[in-house]
Structure 1
Amino acid sequence: MNTILHITKHQQWEEAKIIGRYRADSLSSEGFIHCSKSTQILKVAKRFFDNQKELVLLFIDSDQVQAEIRYEPAEIGELFPHVYGELNIDAVYQAIDFEAGEDGLFELPQEVIDLQLT
């Protein structure tokens, strides 16, 4: 299984589960859903989600995603997975709470560490 990750608000994920598909705000504004590899998730969290609460980290089986996934360069010179379309929620095999600690910093969850070991 090839896993990519996506950070979203808890409420957005709950709504997606009800309607059966997930649309990030970036899908409308940029044409794709931003995702990350396990080695990139802390950089993304620090840059875009600093001090935000009620976040969820989605574990996505990229082989099950119905929309096109493209690995494209970002400003930091790394390739990031982008999902070009709505995300079918059956491709999400795990969702965990993902919030910064009291010091405002994110820590790598054990579930992501385990991904890096496989």
Structure 2
Amino acid sequence: MLIYKIFHADEWRDLREHGETAGAPVDLADGYVHFSTSEQVAETAAKHFAGQDDLFLLAVKTDDLGADLRWETSRNDALFPHLYRKLRLSDVHWAQPLPLQNGAHVFPAGFGDAGE
């Protein structure tokens, strides 16, 4: 299964340069790296990144995260994936720009397809 992280371009660049990151400021404050499922990530983008451009969508395979990944209740009592260690560049399955068009984020072609 793939889970998703939205990063600003500078956060994505930092991960590529350093090979790991403790995450965005919200992740540092909460003590874990926030992720969303394919069903949750559009709402995450709208709620936490409204009107923001220069973003990247990162996909991570849950199988690669082991026991450091926990599913915890969050927004709307839904279970969200949280990573309790640094995110490593080697964890990233793919990353694509998440552009803003007419006020809405445009997800990559094929995003959310069953074959991911």
TM-score by length of 2: 0.88
The aligned runs of 1:1-118 (5 Å cut-off) are 2-24=1-23, 25-65=25-65, 68-101=68-101, 103-114=102-113, 117-118=114-115
Conservation of the 8 A alpha-carbon contact between 1:74 and 1:80: yes
Alpha-carbon distance, 1:38 to partner: 0.6
Conservation of the 8 A alpha-carbon contact between 1:69 and 1:84: yes
The unaligned stretches of length 5 or more in structure 2 are none
| Identity %, equivalent residues | 26
Question: Conserved in 2, the CA contact under 8 Å of 1:10 and 1:56?
Answer: yes
3-state SS of 1:110 partner: coil
Shift of 1:63: 1.6
- The unaligned stretches of length 5 or more in structure 1 are none
Contact 1:5–1:57 (CA<8 Å) still a contact in 2? yes
> For 1:19-76, what per-residue CA distance to the aligned partner results, in whole angstroms no more than 9, with x for missing partners?
1102212332001111011111101000000011110000101222367111111131
RMSD: 1.6
Per the normalisation by structure 1, the TM-score is 0.87
SS in 2 for 1:37: coil
